[in-house]
Amino acid sequence: MFVDKNSIIINGVNMGDYIVEAKYNYPKLWANDAGRNLAGVMSGTLIGIFPKITLQFRKLTKAELEIITPILDSPRQTVSYYDPVNKAQTTMTTYTGDYEIKNKYVISNNRKNEGFSCSFISTKKRV
């Protein structure tokens, strides 16, 4: 998947300034009629593919965290990204997975926030 500095925008914020890696996952959701028979043949109804983008954030400053965490905490996000199937910039509504921010050296003046990751999962199947 090709990603450039301006290819992921969430709630109007360009993520290229804050991330070091983006992972794209395209999980398939199958209906309850899916499975394998005794011969091992798969059958069933594909409900859809629900894109998931996991972003690895670099170490962020306090000011940067104040920009990013409200986006992660909101119930829904608007994510614009390059979709190789549609061969174009695509927008999807997402919800986020859990995230954890680790701070080191909280007692000293060398406080550092470690990098962390968070997933953005589409609320609708890809068309």
Per-residue pLDDT for 2 more than 60? Answer: no
Q: Is 56 exposed, middle or buried (0-12, 13-18, 19+ CB in 10 A)?
A: middle
Q: Where are the domains of the chain?
A: 9-31+45-122
C-alpha span between 14 and 80 (Å, rounded): 9
pLDDT tens readout for residues 4-43: 778 999 999 999 999 999 999 999 999 999 999 899 999 9
pLDDT tens readout for residues 53-94: 999 999 998 899 999 999 999 999 999 999 888 888 999 999
pLDDT tens readout for residues 85-123: 888 899 999 999 999 998 876 666 666 688 999 999 999
Residue 40 three-state SS? coil
